[in-house]
Amino acid sequence: MYLFSREARLGPGNPVEQGAWAVSVTEKVNQISEVEVQLWTRVLSPGLGTFAWTASVEELSELEASDAKLLADSTYVDLVAQGAKYESGQGINDSLLQMVYPDPDAANGQPQYVSVVDAVIAPGNTSKAVDAAIEVAQAAKRVSGRPTSFAVGASGPYGGVAWITVYDSIEQLQKAGEDIAADASFGAQVDKLGPLFLPEGTTQLFYRRIA
């Protein structure tokens, strides 16, 4: 399984108007494409004003077919063009993750928040790092009670990986973070990852679902 994401950071402006535009794009995509797309916005994190359109697919050909349908639809193309007035000048970025350990419970319900921890494997440590990272994902779920998946980057920085945890509410997000911070054994397990990953580039971002 693959997780595709298209992110755009919008410039200063009316956040209600910008959000309504992003929702209209999402609705149009879901009318045209057979691939279900969700809309998220970054919160409590760097890059305020960033919107992310995400989709899960089994085959990359699904994304190719979806893109062809969208570009052939004039109403979708017009909507995208309208978004030019909201641009921050930072461009639009696509990313693709290959799910190595998809937590089966992550597919249940309609999560409203997600945390994404990105890191980059140090050269020569791929196999060890992936095995250890999966164990950390499983430990995170055991401690926090929240479904946590692990993926490797199919695009972006070579050796990039991501842990993805979903939450039904901001209260769950807060409690999960507090439970993990209070668990010494989890902290010790994460510390063991140190030699396997590059010391710089590890980030944690939070997203809230809009549509």
Please report the pLDDT score of residue 88 as a whole number.
81
**% helix, strand, coil for the chain, step of 5:** 45, 35, 25
Question: Residue-wise pLDDT tens for the chain (211 aa)?
Answer: 999 999 999 988 889 999 999 999 999 999 999 999 999 999 999 998 999 999 999 999 999 999 999 999 999 999 999 888 888 888 899 999 999 999 999 888 789 999 999 999 999 999 999 999 999 999 999 999 999 999 999 999 999 999 999 999 999 999 999 999 999 999 999 999 989 999 887 999 999 999 9
Alpha carbon dihedral 177, 180, 182, 186, in 10-degree steps, equals: -160
Enter the tokens of residue 46.
């760097």
Cα angle at 76 between 74 and 80, to 5 degrees? 115
Q: Determine contact, residues 63/35, Cβ cutoff 8 Å.
A: yes
**Whats the size of the chain, residue-wise?**
211
Please report the pLDDT score of residue 187 as a whole number.
92
Task: Let me know if 32 is exposed, middle or buried by CB neighbors in 10 A (0-12, 13-18, 19+).
Answer: middle
Please report the pLDDT score of residue 210 as a whole number.
96
- Model's pTM, two decimal places? 0.92
Q: How far apart are CA 196 and CA 189, in angstroms?
A: 12
Please report the pLDDT score of residue 176 as a whole number.
96
Please report the pLDDT score of residue 200 as a whole number.
84
Residue 94's contacts (CB-CB under 8 Å, 6 or more residues apart) are 4, 5, 6, 7, 155
